[in-house]
């Protein structure tokens, strides 16, 4: 099973990642004037209440797919589509006192249905009109006609996130309900989704679309941009509001109001999609010059009881789904912990600069499970990791549900550093004897005493024998390494758990791993 189109990941990376595309030579019009800014359509009244009413009404009616753009746009090949780029000198709000700029992506190829983008000023909203004059076309692009079906496939936001000189892109909304963001000095990596439906279910996954966006024009001095998005699919309609603040961490405060058309038994709230190909735990499967290849290394969870869990990611041979049952989780997210170039040795992908994404639930989320889906992958172009919150109870048809949460795109999860965190996991076959060896490195921490005999080690498995474990000081990290053996025998899977304790209290994160044959 593959969650997304096989080429989606490499395509979006090339299209939107900062620094990947070459600098465009911006043409000047024949009269010497700058390229025009996008024109706006007829003004209409705007209010958040009217958007909610519109979405509720939409959900009461049968789902209607969006209109496809002209076939010649859909028939573009990859290189041709890449040759269509929005002219940054046509950016909305360029040359004004607004601290943000808005740019657009053309439809076509993987985006056969255009979305509408409105600009909101005060209590009025006006649609942005598509014009080929706002785009730069390479020689590879054939002559294309534009008609009234052409909108956009998405948009990007820019601000002075890395310097006061240039406005760098920090957020992209494009494709289904996918969106991505970066913080300062980061490059694009994992994605978020408005909603995940039936992920990994045998009957197949449903991908809701953001069909229309409303982007409020930021005023001079504003530090945040506000985006509203209409979500629609056969099973549900919804309205999302994002208040986006770029910086050393880029923060999105999200309100999602869902109106199910059908009973939703398997819903993914605050869904994240990432890639994990290999690290030190499974390098033998890949003939690669790099030490590791992944956008995210592990899933970090602080559950409702306050326990901090670190679930190391894996690239299994078969699909696997892990559920961490909880009541009112305090936070979770896919994180990228190795932050040195030498951890990957990749000059192009810059995996050491990929963001983690921390979810901070808002109002009472109740009972459910943080769910992790790991899908087999043989190439790094595939997004094979998904994490989300799954409510225990289905969302009934005709009901209304509101979820609020904060998304933090970051280097480190914004949590208190009160435990020794896991910084590396290594697995391999035992040299002497049967079974395998696990070696877990914990970062230095003030709660770990110099006398290692005062640290209590707790190692267990879901089935099968494990050794007590040995603690050693790791001179390379300054922390400690826990090593233990486990013997799967003829088993195809084992759940492993390890933790360090001092004086009866937790001194480290709980390390979790699902070993598969």
**Residue at 355 is within a domain:** yes
Confidence of residue 432 (pLDDT cuts 50, 70, 90): confident
**Residue at 3 is within a domain:** no
Q: State pLDDT tens for residues 363-387.
A: 889 999 999 999 999 999 999 999 9
Q: State pLDDT tens for residues 222-267.
A: 999 999 999 999 999 999 999 999 999 999 999 999 999 999 999 9
Does residue 429 share a domain with residue 396? no
**Parallel, antiparallel or unpaired: strands 209-216 and 116-121:** parallel
pLDDT value at residue 463: 86
**Residue at 1 is within a domain:** no
Q: What value, to the nearest 5°, has the Cα angle with vertex 270 and ends 266 and 271?
A: 65
Q: State pLDDT tens for residues 114-171.
A: 999 999 999 999 999 999 999 999 999 999 988 877 999 999 999 999 999 899 999 9
Q: Give the whole-angstrom CA distance, residue 166 versus residue 366.
A: 44
Does residue 301 share a domain with residue 164? yes
**Parallel, antiparallel or unpaired: strands 250-260 and 154-159:** unpaired
Task: State which residues form the domain around 59.
Answer: 8-410
**Residue at 415 is within a domain:** no
**Parallel, antiparallel or unpaired: strands 308-312 and 191-193:** unpaired
Which of 383, 410, 437 is the C-terminal boundary of a domain? 410
Element (H, E) at 77: none
Confidence of residue 19 (pLDDT cuts 50, 70, 90): very low
Does residue 377 share a domain with residue 292? yes
Does residue 248 share a domain with residue 268? yes
pLDDT value at residue 43: 96
Instruction: Kindly report which listed range (17-31, 211-225, 346-360) carries the lowest average pLDDT score.
Output: 17-31
**Residue at 416 is within a domain:** no
Tell me the percentage of the chain whose pLDDT exceeds 90: 84
pLDDT value at residue 363: 83
Does residue 243 share a domain with residue 189? yes
Q: Could you tell me which residues come within 8 angstroms of residue 504 by beta carbon, excluding any fewer than 6 positions away?
A: none
What six digits make up the tokens of 314?
A: 């894996």
Which of 379, 410, 441 is the C-terminal boundary of a domain? 410
Tell me the percentage of the chain whose pLDDT exceeds 70: 93
Does residue 167 share a domain with residue 237? yes
Does residue 440 share a domain with residue 399? no
Round the average pLDDT of the chain to a whole number and report it: 91
What is the CATH classification number for the domain harbouring 387? 2.70.98.10
**Residue at 2 is within a domain:** no
Does residue 469 share a domain with residue 336? no
Residue-level length of the chain: 517
Q: In sequence order, what E strands does 375-468 have?
A: 385-391, 401-410, 422-429, 436-442, 456-461
Does residue 238 share a domain with residue 105? yes
pLDDT value at residue 33: 60
Does residue 393 share a domain with residue 503? no
Domain tally, the chain = 2
**Parallel, antiparallel or unpaired: strands 510-516 and 308-312:** parallel
**Residue at 483 is within a domain:** yes
Res 14 pLDDT > 60: no
Q: For the residues 303-312, what does the mean pLDDT come to?
A: 96
Does residue 315 share a domain with residue 349? yes
Q: What value, to the nearest 5°, has the Cα angle with vertex 102 and ends 98 and 107?
A: 170
The answer to whether the predicted template modeling score (pTM) of the entire model surpasses 0.85 is yes
**Residue at 95 is within a domain:** yes
Q: What value, to the nearest 5°, has the Cα angle with vertex 86 and ends 80 and 90?
A: 155
pLDDT value at residue 324: 96
Q: Give the whole-angstrom CA distance, residue 258 versus residue 398.
A: 10
Confidence of residue 424 (pLDDT cuts 50, 70, 90): very high
**With contact defined as beta carbons under 8 Å apart, do 103 and 86 qualify?**
yes
Q: Could you tell me which residues come within 8 angstroms of residue 284 by beta carbon, excluding any fewer than 6 positions away?
A: none
pLDDT value at residue 489: 85
pLDDT value at residue 281: 81
Does residue 66 share a domain with residue 157? yes
Closest CA to 232 of 156, 185, 176: 176
What is the CATH classification number for the domain harbouring 448? 2.60.40.10
What six digits make up the tokens of 127?
A: 């649609």
pLDDT value at residue 215: 98
């Amino acid at each position: 099973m593959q969650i997304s189109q096989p080429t989606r990941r490499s395509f979006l990376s090339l299209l939107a990642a900062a620094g990947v595309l070459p600098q465009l030579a911006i043409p000047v019009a024949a009269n010497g004037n700058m390229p025009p800014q996008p024109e706006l359509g007829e003004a209409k009244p705007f209010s958040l209440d009217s958007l909610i009413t519109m979405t509720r009404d939409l959900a009461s009616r049968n789902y209607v797919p969006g209109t496809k753009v002209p076939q010649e746009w859909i028939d573009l090949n990859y290189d041709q589509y890449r040759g269509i780029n929005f002219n940054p000198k046509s950016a909305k709000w360029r040359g004004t006192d607004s601290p943000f700029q808005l740019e657009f992506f053309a439809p076509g190829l993987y985006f056969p249905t255009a979305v509408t983008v409105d600009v909101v000023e005060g209590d009025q909203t006006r649609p942005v009109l598509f014009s080929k004059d706002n785009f730069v076309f390479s020689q590879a692009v054939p002559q294309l006609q534009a008609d009234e079906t052409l909108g956009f496939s998405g948009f990007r936001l820019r601000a002075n996130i890395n310097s006061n000189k240039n406005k760098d892109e920090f957020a992209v909304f494009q494709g289904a309900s996918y969106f991505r963001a970066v913080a300062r000095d980061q490059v694009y990596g994992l994605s978020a989704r408005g909603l995940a439906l039936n992920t990994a279910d045998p009957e197949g996954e449903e991908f809701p679309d953001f069909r229309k966006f409303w982007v409020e024009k930021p005023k001079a001095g504003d530090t945040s941009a506000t985006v509203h998005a209409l979500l629609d699919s056969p099973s549900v309609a919804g309205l999302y509001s994002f208040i986006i603040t770029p910086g050393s961490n880029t923060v999105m405060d999200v309100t999602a109001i869902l109106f199910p058309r059908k009973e939703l038994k398997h819903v993914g709230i605050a869904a994240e999609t990432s890639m994990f190909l290999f690290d030190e735990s499974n390098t033998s499967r890949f003939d690669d010059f790099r030490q590791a290849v992944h956008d995210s290394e592990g899933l970090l969870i602080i559950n409702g009881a306050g326990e901090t869990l670190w679930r190391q990611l894996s690239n299994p041979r078969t699909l696997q789904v892990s559920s961490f049952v909880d009541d009112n989780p305090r936070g979770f997210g896919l994180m990228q912990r190795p932050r040195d170039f030498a951890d990957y040795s990749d000059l192009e992908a810059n995996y050491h600069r990929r963001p983690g994404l921390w979810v901070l639930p808002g109002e009472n989320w109740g009972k459910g499970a943080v769910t992790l889906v790991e899908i087999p992958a043989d190439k790094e172009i595939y997004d094979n990791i998904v994490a989300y919150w799954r409510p225990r109870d289905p969302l009934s048809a005709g009901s209304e549900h509101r979820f609020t949460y904060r998304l933090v795109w970051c280097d480190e999860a914004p949590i208190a550093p009160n435990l020794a965190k896991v910084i590396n996991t290594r697995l391999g076959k035992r040299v002497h004897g049967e079974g395998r060896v696990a070696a877990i490195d914990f970062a230095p921490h003030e709660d770990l005493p110099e006398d290692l005999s005062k640290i209590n080690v707790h190692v267990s498995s879901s089935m099968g024998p494990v050794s007590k474990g040995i603690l050693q000081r790791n001179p390379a990290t300054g922390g400690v390494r826990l090593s233990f053996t486990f013997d799967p025998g003829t088993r195809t899977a084992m759940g492993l758990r390890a933790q360090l304790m001092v004086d009866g209290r937790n001194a480290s994160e709980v390390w979790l791993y699902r070993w598969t044959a």
